Amino acid sequence: MLTGSCLCGGVRYELTEPLTYAGYCHCTRCQRRTGTAASANASVKAESLRVTQGAELVRSYQPEDGAAKEFCSVCGSALWSRHAQTGAVGLRLGTLDEDPGVRPTYHQFVAYAAPWEPIPDDGLPRYEERRPS
């Protein structure tokens, strides 16, 4: 079972199912909420994610559209996104304790990629907008 936490350790979680795929998101929101050029995210079924400690510390920011961004209110770590309609969860790979068993397989929203960091020449498919489902 995979486990993870925020930076301060106040929030801990576990995943009851293995991850199936992951990718890099270069959208402006991911840049803002992480302070980095891209965010590595994995898709998780909502029912697979269990907060085992510090659920009361998790805060949510809901943009005008799209998924809510949930984070630790003590240390500010971005934890996951949660889509109100679909229930889809986008887990931030950097919060995991161990090897997630999957590797990012695409780059999405590259049309908005940060000008200060080239997208790595890693052979992964690049999508101007959201990765087609």
Which positions touch Zn ion (CB under 5 A)?
6, 8, 10, 25, 27, 30, 72, 74-75
Q: How far is the CB of 47 from Zn ion (least distance, A)?
A: 23
Q: How far is the CB of 121 from Zn ion (least distance, A)?
A: 21
In the bound state with Zn ion, the residue whose beta carbon lies nearer, of 103 and 127, is 127
The β-bridge relationship of strands 78-82 and 104-108 is: unpaired
In the bound state with Zn ion, the residue whose beta carbon lies nearer, of 19 and 109, is 109
* Cα separation values, 118 from 26, 30, 93, Å: 11, 16, 21
Query: In sequence order, what are the beta bridge partners of 44?
Result: 89
Task: Count Cβ atoms below 10 Å from residue 106 Cβ, excluding itself.
Answer: 16
Q: How far is the CB of 10 from Zn ion (least distance, A)?
A: 4
